[in-house]
Structure 1
C-alpha cells in the first residue's frame, strides 16, 4: 500500500467551514502582582544517573551486566535508557569491577596458599563460612535500615548492640569454625603437624586476608558514593552529566516496540473518514481526494506540540522538560530485510562497520525518518515521541503518537508509557552524610567480615572467569557471526533496557501519579485539538472527531472488541481506581495496570 504524498502547498479552506481555533499565545496579563506560580524548566540534577552509578558500586551482578551491555555487546542493538547517561554509568562500573578484580586476585592467592598448606581445613572452613554468609551474596550490605512495603524511602534505624560487638561476633564465629576445621583436617589428607601453627596460619590466610581486602573494596565503593554520587554539590563536582540518549531508531524484539519506556499507562486509537463539511456519508457521492498527506499533518502537530513546552514563548502554562521528537521502530528480525532502510544508514561507516562488526546505529538521518511517516504496513513504523522527564529524571512519561492518512481515512493511535522511579536499594546515596562517622566505619568493617566468607569461596572462580573472559567473549561473538551468516532473519533487537531493568514498578509519591496523569491528559488534549484544527483548516467535517475526542477525554476509555484487565469505569460521571503501575504497585489509571480496583458511576 502506498502513502499519499505530503501536501507542501498552501492549505485550502472554505469560507463556510467551521473552524476550531488554533492554540495561540495568550494576551499579555494586565499590570499587577506577579502570578504565584510560574512553570520552570526541568531540574538540572540527573538523579537516575546517580542511582544507577550507585547500583554498580553496590551490586557486582549489576556492574557486570552494565559492562556486558555497554562494552562487550557489539552486534545487537542497545535499548534506550531514557534520562540516563550510560557513559557515566559505565565509567563507574569499570572502576567498581577493577576494585573487585583486585580483591578477588589477592583473596584467591591467599586461598590457594592455604589450600597447599592445609587442604582439608581450608576446604572445610570455606564451605562452612560460605554457608554461614550466603545471605551476603554478591551485593554489599546496607545495615541499619527498615524497608517500607511500598516504594517509599528507606528509613534509617539505629542499629542494635555496640559496634564492637558487631565486629566481634562474626570474627569469633569464623575463628570457631576455623578451629574445628583445623582439628578435623588432621584426619584427612595432610596438614601442618602443629595444630596451633596450622590454626594461626590459616587464620591469617582464610580470615584476615579476605576480611581486609573485602573491607578495602567496600571502603572504595562507599567513598566513591560519598564523594561523587550524593545529591547536590557532590554530584555537581563530578560533572553532573546530562542524558546521552538522543536516539530516533529503536530496534526491538518481541511484541512491544516501546522498549525502555516502562509500563503502559494508557492507550487509545480511532479511525475516521475524511469528508468535506456538509457532505453526507453514504449518499453515493464520491468525496474529493484528501488535500494533504500524513507528513503535512505530522508537521502541524509537531509545531503545535512544540508550543506546549514551558520554554516556548507561545505558552504561558506549558509542560516543563517536554521533548518532541520523531522515532522509527523496526523489529530486529526485519532490520536486514526491509527496503525502507538502507544498510549504509543502519550501519554507517562502510563494510568494515556493517552487520556483525558493530551495533546498529541509534540515529538515522532526518530525511529517512521523514520518508517513513504514515506507514500503515510492515515492521517499520514512525511515531511522534512526546517525553517528559520529571522529578530529577526519576520519572519519565512518554506518549507515542502514530498518524496515518490513507485512502481518505485518518488513523490516530496514542500509547502512553511511564518509566517508574529507580529501585529503593540504589537510592542509598540520598541518605548519606558528607563524612562517615567512626561507628559507621566500624559497622562497615563488620559487614566486610560477614561477606568475607562468600568472597573467599568465590574468589578463585572469579579469577578463572576473568582469565577466560576474552576467550569466552570471542566464542560468543563467533556464535553470533555464524548465526548472522546462516539466518537471514537474525534478530538484532535490543534485549533489555538497563534503566527499565532497575525500575521499582511503583510510584514513590502520590503526586508522581498526579503529574503523570495531568501531563498525559494535557498532551492528549493538545493532540486531538491540533488534529481537529488542521482538518477544519482544510474544510473537512470534524463532528465525528469531536465526538470521539469527548469520549476519550471525558470517559477515558474507548474499546472495540478484545479484552482488558484491571479496573474499568465508563459512562457519564464514571471513575475508577486501581492498584498497580504497569503490572504492580501504585495507581495506574482507568484501564491500565493490574490488581484490585473499584468503579463508581
Structure 2
C-alpha cells in the first residue's frame, strides 16, 4: 500500500528514475523491468501485482515491501520456493532485506534487484521458447515407451550436478514431469499387484489343513480366480488412466497443454526441474567429451579461413590506409546485430559461452557452487570477455538458431572470430536436428474412444497378459526400487566425491531431442527450408564480415576470395545428406558430417 492508502500497481518499463527496480532476466518471455515505488507492498506471481506468467510460479509467489529502510522480500508459501543469491527465503515468517545486485529466483524465473539509477546493458532480443509439438511427442513417448521414460529420467532427473544440453524446441521440464508421473503410477500398480499375489498365496496356504481334497481344490480355485480378477482390474485401471485419461485426452493433437503436466511429489525432483526450466533461455553451454555443440544434432556444414588484417585498404592517392584496430568481441557484436535483422521466422541470435565439464570448475563465475549444476546464463560482459584468444579453454560463439515446423526442424549455426596479431581467423559450423523418428510420433495413431469404450478397450487389452503381469509384479517392483536406490546411491557418490575435491565432469549428456531425431527429411518443403536458412544466413554473415572489415579500412581482396569460395560451395552443392544417409538425407557443403566430419578450409 502507498502512503495514500491506494494500492500501487507497478508498470513494466525501463525507467531512469531513482526508485529501486526489479529486472527480470529469465525466461525470455518475461524479460522486463518493474519500478518499485516507496511504501508499496507488492505481490509477485501469476496473478500478482508483478505478473510472471510461468508455469512453476505460484499465483501468489512472493511479497515485496518497499519500506524506509529498503526493500524486503518474503515467500508467500510458494510451491517452488523463492531464493536470494541461491539461498531459500523462509516462507512467510522471516523477510529478507535486499541489497543492490541481489539475484532473485521465483521458481525458474530469475531477476536482479537494483537500487541505483544506472540502467543495465540492454538484453539481447530473443524469441520466447517455442511451445512446440515436439514437447507433446516426447511427453507422450514417456507414457508409451518404458525405455524412453527411463532415458528421460537418466538424462534429466537423475543427474543433479550435470549441466543440461540446449533444449531446442522442447520443454524438458514438462517431459520430465510426465516421465515422473508414469514411473510413479507403474510403481503403484506393481506394488498393488505384488500385494495381491502375496495375499492370494497366503489365503491359499490357510486352506491346506482342510481334510477333504475336493473342498480344498474348490476353495483354492476360487481364491485364485478372485485374486486374478482383482489383479486384472488393477492392471486395466492403470492402462485406462495411461491410454485414455493421459494420452488420449491430454496428449493427442489439439489437446496438449504444458500446464497440464503434473507437479513432482518429491522435493528433490521439484528442485531439479526448476534448474531444467531455466535451460531454454540460457547462454552458457557446458559440454562433455569432444564436441562443444552438444544437443545440436548432425553437422551439415563447416568452414574456416584466416586472412591478413594488417594490410590497409587502397586509398584515392594510390597508397594504403592504416587499418583501424578492433577486437574479436567487436566483430562478434557487429555480426550479432546484423544477423538479428534477418526476417526469418523462429530466429534467435545471441552469443553463447562454451566450456567443458571439467574446465568449468576453474571459473567460479560459471560454477559458484560445486554441489549444484553450472549456471545456465551469464551476463553479456562475461560472454564478451571470452570472445578472443586462441588458447582459451572458455570460448564464445555467435549462435544463429532457427526453429520451424513446430520444432521438427532446428538448424543452428555457430560462428567464431579470433584476432591473432595481424591475422583474423574465422570459423563456422552448422548443425541440424531433423524430424523425430516415426516411433516417437505414435500418439497421432491413437484411436479416439468414449469413456465407456476406453474402459472396454483397457479390459480387453489387459485380459490375456494379466496372469503373467501378476506373477512378474514382485520382480518389476524390486527392479523399480533397485533403480531408484541405484540412482540415489549414484547421486550420493557424486556428492561425496565433489566434497572431497575430486574432479567431476559437469558436462551435459546428449539431449533427448537429439536422441529422438531421425535421419530423413520426411518432407520436401522442410528440406528446402533448411537449405534456405543456410544459404540466406551465410550470405548475410559474409556480407556483414566484409562490411565490418571495410569500416576498419582493411584490404578486402583476400577476404573476397574466401567469400566467393564459400558462397559457391553453399549455394551450388545439392548433395544434401546427414550422417550416412545420402540422397534424401542431409548435408550442405563439402565439409559436412556426411563426409567423415572433415573440416573444409578455404
TM-score of the pair, normalised by structure 1: 0.66
2:242 matched residue in structure 1 = 221
Match 2:575 to one of 551, 560, 577: 577
2:384 matched residue in structure 1 = 370
Moved more, 459-468 or 513-522: 459-468
2:120 matched residue in structure 1 = none
Deviation at 1:274, TM superposition (A): 0.9
Match 1:297 to one of 327, 331, 335: 331
1:399 matched residue in structure 2 = 413
Say whether residues 1:231 and 2:265 are aligned partners.
no
2:117 matched residue in structure 1 = none
Question: Structure 1, residues 370-408: CA drift from partner, whole Å, max 9, x if none?
Answer: 111123223311111111111011211111111112212
Deviation at 1:448, TM superposition (A): 2.3
**Any idea what SS the aligned residue of 1:346 has?**
coil
Taking a change above 3 Å as real, the CA distance of residues 587 and 117 of structure 1, as seen in their structure-2 partners, is same
Cα distance in 1 for partners of 2:358, 2:152 equals 24
**Any idea what SS the aligned residue of 1:397 has?**
strand
1:78 matched residue in structure 2 = 164
Cα distance in 1 for partners of 2:313, 2:323 equals 16
Taking a change above 3 Å as real, the CA distance of residues 243 and 216 of structure 1, as seen in their structure-2 partners, is farther
**Any idea what SS the aligned residue of 1:556 has?**
helix
Contact 1:396 1:420 in 2 (8 A): yes
Cα distance in 1 for partners of 2:191, 2:412 equals 45
**Any idea what SS the aligned residue of 2:578 has?**
coil
Cα distance in 1 for partners of 2:160, 2:256 equals 34
Cα distance in 2 for partners of 1:90, 1:65 equals 10
**Equivalence map 1:93-242=2 (5 Å):** 93-116=179-202, 194-205=216-227, 207-222=228-243, 223-232=245-254, 234-235=256-257, 238=260
Contact 1:99 1:217 in 2 (8 A): yes
Structure 1 unaligned blocks of 5 or more: 1-40, 120-185, 309-317, 349-353, 558-573, 597-601
Taking a change above 3 Å as real, the CA distance of residues 116 and 555 of structure 1, as seen in their structure-2 partners, is same
Match 1:266 to one of 301, 312, 319: 301
**Any idea what SS the aligned residue of 1:326 has?**
strand
1:66 matched residue in structure 2 = 152
Deviation at 1:198, TM superposition (A): 3.3
Moved more, 387-396 or 484-493: 484-493
Say whether residues 1:276 and 2:298 are aligned partners.
no
Moved more, 245-254 or 226-235: 226-235
**Equivalence map 1:518-557=2 (5 Å):** 518-556=532-570
Cα distance in 2 for partners of 1:199, 1:459 equals 21
Contact 1:267 1:414 in 2 (8 A): yes
Cα distance in 1 for partners of 2:443, 2:429 equals 34
**Any idea what SS the aligned residue of 1:55 has?**
helix
2:353 matched residue in structure 1 = 328
Cα distance in 2 for partners of 1:200, 1:44 equals 57
Cα distance in 1 for partners of 2:306, 2:529 equals 29
Q: Select the structure with the greater relative contact order (CA < 8 A; seq sep ≥ 6).
A: 1
Deviation at 1:364, TM superposition (A): 1.5
Contact 1:334 1:489 in 2 (8 A): no
**Any idea what SS the aligned residue of 2:373 has?**
coil
Moved more, 493-502 or 432-441: 432-441
Say whether residues 1:589 and 2:587 are aligned partners.
yes
Deviation at 1:471, TM superposition (A): 4.7
1:123 matched residue in structure 2 = none
Cα distance in 1 for partners of 2:467, 2:320 equals 81
**Any idea what SS the aligned residue of 1:392 has?**
helix
Cα distance in 1 for partners of 2:518, 2:351 equals 28
Q: Over aligned residues, Cα RMSD in angstroms?
A: 3.5
Cα distance in 1 for partners of 2:467, 2:518 equals 30
Contact 2:435 2:520 in 1 (8 A): yes
**Equivalence map 1:11-30=2 (5 Å):** none
Higher strand share: 2
